[in-house]
A and B are shown apart, each in its own frame.
Chain A
Amino acid sequence: MVIIGAGGAGLRAAIECSAAGLKTALVCKSLLGKAHTVMAEGGIAAALANVDNQDGWTTHFQDTLFGGKYLNNWKMAEFHAKESPDRVRELEQWGAVFDRTGEGKILQRAFGGHTYRRLAHVGDRTGLELIRTLQDKGIHQGIDVYMECTITRLLKDGPRACGAFGYWRETGKFVIFKAKSIILSTGGLGRCFKITSNSWEGTGDGHALGYQAGAQLLDMEFVQFHPTGMVWPPGVMGLLVTEAVRGEGGILRNNKGERFMEKYDPKRMELSTRDVVARSIYTEVKEGRGSPHGGCFLDISHRGAEYVKKKLPSMYHQFKELADVDITTGPMEVGPTCHYAMGGLKVEAATGATRVPGLFAAGECSGGMHGANRLGGNSLSDLLVFGARAGKGAADHARSAPAAKLEEAEISAAADEMTGYFSREKPENPYQLHVELQNTMQSLVGIFREDGDLKAAVEKLQEYKDRARRVGVLEGNRMFNPGWHLCRDLQNMLICSEAITRAALLRKESRGAHSRLDYPAYDEYWGSHNLLSEDRNGVMDVQPMPVVSSPDLQTLVDERKAKEKK
């Protein structure tokens, strides 16, 4: 078993695999415990009903589908809503220490789009708690962890995925992993955009590795812009400001002091879904009612200094140290930031299997669970539920799969690709190309989109793809060389960017995180179709497919749709 990516999904999958008795390798680009999961702040959504006892899986399921504008894979949303409470309790049994209710149970907080107070949390550092707990569980269970190792290609035996090719970042030496099952759990692709909350690792590696190995990408047009990122100072632009600020009662205002969410979603106000809040802030700024640094104001100071420091300690420090702003006494400035890819590898709901035998995916690099827009708190639960499911699915597959053999030709092609970056005659600067790609995606494929911009982006991306063939190492050798790394990352980001742009061009409507200025309303056809991208002889082909529904869940969906109409 090889698992690529050691965030929440990868770790949870690895625990499942090694518990099933399989020899499990967990490979990650960074050190263990540094994955982007640590940036998840607000909490894990699970209908534990510790605070609001009316809550249950059916409401969580309905909230998730409403948030995803009914484009979610229904089965995934069902598994997720049903299983997340057990996954949270299991974390506690492995040593996680959540904030407590008066009765001593796991405390839950309110969050955008969730009907009830549902997010199990630890102040505003829930992701760190999750990853540390899984890390400590995993290392004592015999998982082999290969840190600072970058996978550049999946290896196949006929149609099957059977290995992974990569290199050690420290030495630059190549490494080959042979496996009966491979799980991709590489996280997001936010680095395609200029303003993002994602770390350097969010380059869509799993999306691209899977796509190149023959798997399909789903819902790529849906990129979540989190409503609240920092907007100042420039160096931290895009850095996440947790939704927990609004969950704990934070109020959004424009420069006239108006609580503008009254206009956009009077019912849910600040706790509307992320797509709505992000567009509202963007519109306020565009219409001249923004804050000095191009965002809006978010104020939590009315909750009192002690409460804010207790419930939002890292936000307090983040603003104090990086922006000289004391959020206990005044508002912070925030604006939308590229945060999460709803789109990802198309997988079987129950097992995380892609259409490539032996290849599985879980977490952000898989698609289907969140539809057109993800609710806050549903990503950490997604990691746990589908990390465990993919782990089991991959383990079952590995037990019955015959031994695979690696193709020499594939291995040498993978090696040639990586050494090729050192032998360009006039190498293109990867840093420069990355900046241009980010600017293009931000300005032409951002929060609001239209036909002309998207077509221009497709052309630009073609130009970047040509230039990406010429990127090379400008200085240094193979030892821990970030420029070399970026050369390969760019190829992944370009595949993701193309899929995002092509799907966005095709979806002629506005829904969830995808807003078209030229098609501002819902469209009935698109309301029941997802977009699927796949490689056909080197050309990206994007086609609609009907949403994966399930007759036994129809009543729940109809019930929620009727309620929303009222």
Chain B
Amino acid sequence: MSKREFKVWRGDAAGGKFVSYPVDVEEGMVVLDAIHQIQRQQAPDLACRWNCKAAKCGSCSAEVNGKPRLMCKTRLDSLPDGEPVTVHPMRSFPIMRDLVTDVAWNYTVNRKIPPFTPKKDTQWLMQQEDVDRVQEFRKCIECFLCQNVCHVVREHDKKDHFAGPRFFVRIASLEMHPLDSLDRIPLLKKEAGLGLCNITKCCTEVCPEEIHITDNAIIPMKERVVDRYYDPVQIVIRKLTGKDKKD
């Protein structure tokens, strides 16, 4: 059995540092296995979140060698040999302890999104091809890696004016639901701050569910906002029909 050095960030809101731990490496091992081994043998109080260990719950998000990953899905043999593996908590959220961060902001944003509201007298029939896109968005496991890596959150800390990629996906899943009746375009333009996104696709790159966040959710939503607010023909039509007052 070979050994591998792990440098795990230990600390709390007041500060912390990387601590080295030697780990016995087994075949097929993932980073979360190593963290568990460290808990069992060397640091019984090492705090981390995890649940399913199968990339289905999105609890064990962290930055492994600087890259946002799910620890349960990151195999040690995919990381460069011969150098320590660093594990750091997600950087865009306040630290609670060790690898655990305060992700409460995400839950606050979610509460502000008006829920699915079906059309009146719907027959509850939908064709598969009409729900494929919505199902893609509903694959989201809320690991918040996309939120963590988004520049608007990470560098500019615009949490008060921006919903973030996770919730653009959520809003898109509702807006594209064939039987939903609400209009969330004003929300996207204003409170959700969709315009702040400059489509660098960082969110898409880190999504463990391989949701095409930028191409399939954000860009179509941006188009809907543009159609509504900036298309001159639409503006004239709304002026004539008096329909722009609601915004």
Name A residues whose Cβ lies closer than 8 Å to a Cβ of B: 30-36, 38-39, 89, 92-95, 97, 99-100, 103-105, 107, 122-123, 125, 127-129, 132, 136-137, 139-140, 145, 147, 170, 199-201, 232-236, 239-240, 314, 317-318, 321-324, 429-432, 435, 473-477, 479-484
Query: Which B residues are in CB contact (< 8 Å) with A34?
Result: 49, 51-52, 57-59
For residue A235, which residue of chain B has the nearest CB?
B33
Contacts of B49 on A, CB cut-off 8 Å?
Answer: 30-31, 34
Residues of B within 8 A of A322 (CB): 28, 30, 73, 75
**Cα distance, A99 to B131, chains bound together (Å):** 8
Separation of A314 and B39 alpha carbons in the complex (Å)? 28
Cα(A199)–Cα(B53), bound, Å: 7
Let me know if B45 is at the binding interface, CB within 8 A: yes
A residues less than 8 Å from B59 (CB atoms): 30-31, 34
Docked Cα-Cα span, A186 to B126, in Å, equals 35
Give the docked Cα–Cα distance between A93 and B180 (Å).
Answer: 10
The residues of A that contact B46 with a CB separation of less than 8 Å are 482
Residue of A nearest to B100 (CB): A480
How many interface contacts (CB-CB < 8 Å) are there between A and B?
168
- CB pair A140 B115 closer than 8 Å: yes
Contact of A128 with B141 at beta-carbon distance under 8 Å, contacts A36-B51, A38-B52 already known: yes
B26 interface neighbour in A95, A105, A125, A233, Cβ under 8 Å: A233
- Cβ contact within 8 Å between B51 and A200: yes
Name the residue on A nearest B27 (C-beta): A233
Q: Tell me if B234 is interfacial: C-beta within 8 Å of chain A.
A: no
User: Chain B residue with minimal CB distance to A171?
Assistant: B96
Q: Quick one: given A31-B49, A482-B46, are A233 and B54 in contact (CB under 8 Å)? A: no
- Residues on the B chain within 8 Å of A234, using CB: 26-29
**B55 close to chain A: CB less than 8 A:** yes
- Contact in complex: B29, A199 (CB < 8 Å): no
Selected from A93, A323, A479, the residue in CB contact (under 8 A) with B28 is: A323
> Which chain B residue has the least Cβ–Cβ distance from A431?
B40
The reply to whether B126 and A100 contact each other, CB–CB distance below 8 Å, is yes
Q: Is the CB of A104 within 8 A of B125?
A: yes
Hey, which chain A residues are within 8 Å of B134, CB to CB? 97
B103-111, B146-154, B190-198 - interface stretch:
B103-111
Q: A432 to chain B: which residues have CB within 8 Å?
A: 40
The answer, yes or no, to whether B80 is at the interface (CB within 8 Å) is no
Q: Chain A: which residue is nearest B134 at the CB level?
A: A97
Choice from B33, B39, B97, B111 contacting A139 with Cβ under 8 Å: B111
Chain B residues near A (Cβ < 8 Å): 12, 26-30, 32-33, 39-41, 43-59, 73, 75, 96-98, 100, 102-103, 107, 110-111, 114-116, 118, 124-128, 131, 134-135, 138-139, 141-142, 174, 177
CB distance from A24 to the nearest CB of B (A): 16
Q: Can you add 9 more A-B contacts, CB < 8 Å, to A128-B139, A170-B102, A200-B50?
A: A34-B57, A35-B51, A39-B56, A145-B107, A170-B100, A233-B26, A240-B54, A475-B45, A480-B97
Query: How far apart sit A93 and B124, CA to CA, in the bound complex (Å)?
Result: 8
Determine the distance from Cα of A96 to Cα of B151 in the docked complex, in whole angstroms.
Answer: 31
Question: Which single residue of chain A is at the shortest CB-CB distance from B123?
Answer: A104
The reply to whether A94 and B141 form a contact with Cβ atoms under 8 Å apart is no
Q: Are B125 and A233 in contact (CB under 8 A)?
A: no
Query: Once the chains bind, are B75 and A321 in contact (CB under 8 Å)?
Result: yes
* Choice from A92, A199, A239, A431 contacting B39 with Cβ under 8 Å: A431
Question: Would A480 and B96 be within 8 Å (CB), given that A99-B128, A201-B51, A233-B26 are in contact?
Answer: yes
Complex CA–CA separation, A324 to B12 (angstroms): 37
* Nearest neighbor of A101 in chain B, beta-carbon distance: B128
Q: How far is the CA of A199 from the CA of B32 in the complex (A)?
A: 13
Q: In the complex, are the beta carbons of A482 and B57 less than 8 A apart?
A: no
Do A199 and B28 touch across chains, with their CB atoms under 8 A apart?
no
Which residue of B57, B118, B124 has the most chain A CB atoms within 10 A of its CB atom? B57
CA A381 – CA B94 in complex, angstroms? 38
Report the bound CA distance from A36 to B59 in whole Å.
Answer: 12
How many Å from the CB of B72 to the closest CB on chain A? 8
Q: What residues of B have a CB within 8 angstroms of the CB of A99 in the complex?
A: 128, 135
**Could you tell me the distance between the alpha carbons of A420 and B47 in the complex, rounded to whole angstroms?**
21
Chain B residues whose CB sits within 8 angstroms of the CB of A104 once the complex forms: 125-127
Chain B residues near A139 (CB-CB < 8 A): 107, 110-111
A-B pairs with lowest CB-CB distance, top 6: A233-B28, A476-B45, A95-B116, A104-B125, A483-B44, A235-B33
Do B73 and A235 touch (CB < 8 A)?
Answer: no
Instruction: Please give me the residue from chain A that is nearest to B34 by CB atom.
Output: A235
The answer to whether A476 and B125 touch across the interface, beta carbons within 8 angstroms, is no
With a cutoff of 8 Å between Cβ atoms, the chain A residues found around residue B27 in the complex are 233-234
- What are 29 A-B contacts with C-beta separation under 8 Å? A31-B49, A34-B52, A38-B141, A94-B116, A95-B116, A100-B126, A100-B128, A100-B131, A128-B139, A128-B141, A136-B116, A147-B107, A170-B96, A170-B97, A170-B100, A234-B28, A235-B30, A239-B54, A321-B73, A321-B75, A431-B40, A431-B44, A475-B43, A477-B45, A480-B98, A482-B39, A482-B47, A482-B48, A483-B44
Contact A475/B44 with A233-B28, A321-B75, A480-B98 known, Cβ cut-off 8 Å:
yes
Cβ distance A551 to chain B, nearest Cβ, rounded Å: 37
| A132 in contact with B55 (CB, 8 Å) | no
Interface centre among A31, A233, A240 (most CB of B within 10 A): A31
**A233 — which chain B residues lie within 8 A by C-beta?**
26-29
Contacts of A323 in B (CB 8 A): 28
Give chain B residues whose Cβ lies under 8 Å from the Cβ of A137: 115
Q: In the complex the two chains form, what is the Cα distance from A95 to B146 in whole Å? A: 23
Does the CB pair B54–A97 fall under 8 Å? Answer: no
Known contacts A122-B135, A323-B28: A38-B56 contact under CB 8 Å: yes
User: With A31-B59, A473-B45, A479-B97 in contact, is A235–B51 under 8 Å at CB?
Assistant: no
A129: chain B residues at CB < 8 Å are 138
Q: Are B30 and A95 in contact (CB under 8 A)?
A: no
| CB-based nearest B residue for A96 | B138
Q: How far is the CB of A239 from chain B (nearest CB, A)?
A: 5
Which residues of chain B are within 8 angstroms of A30 by Cβ–Cβ distance? 49, 51, 59
Give every chain A residue within 8 A of B32 (Cβ-Cβ).
235
In the complex where A97-B138, A233-B26, A480-B97 touch, is A317 in contact with B55 (Cβ < 8 A)?
yes
B45 x A482 contact (CB < 8 A): yes
Contact in complex: B44, A476 (CB < 8 Å): yes
A395 to B: closest C-beta gap in Å: 22
Smallest Cβ distance from B100 to chain A, in angstroms?
Answer: 5
CA distance A105 to B45 in the complex (A): 50
Assembled-state Cα–Cα distance A232/B29 (Å)? 10
| Complexed CA–CA distance, A178 and B224 (Å) | 48
- CA distance in complex: A31, B142 (Å): 10
User: Smallest distance from the beta carbon of A131 to chain B beta carbons, Å?
Assistant: 9
User: Given the complex of chains A and B, what is the CA–CA distance between A476 and B44 in angstroms?
Assistant: 8
With both chains docked as a complex, state the minimum distance between the C-beta of B29 and any C-beta of chain A, in angstroms.
5
What is the minimal beta-carbon distance from B128 to any residue of chain A, in angstroms?
A: 4
Q: A38, A145, A147, A170 — which one has the most chain B CB atoms within 10 A of its CB?
A: A38
A93 near B118: Cβ-Cβ < 8 Å: yes
Closest to A122 in B: B135
* Chain B hits for A132, CB < 8 A: 138
User: A481–B10 Cα gap in the complex (Å)?
Assistant: 12
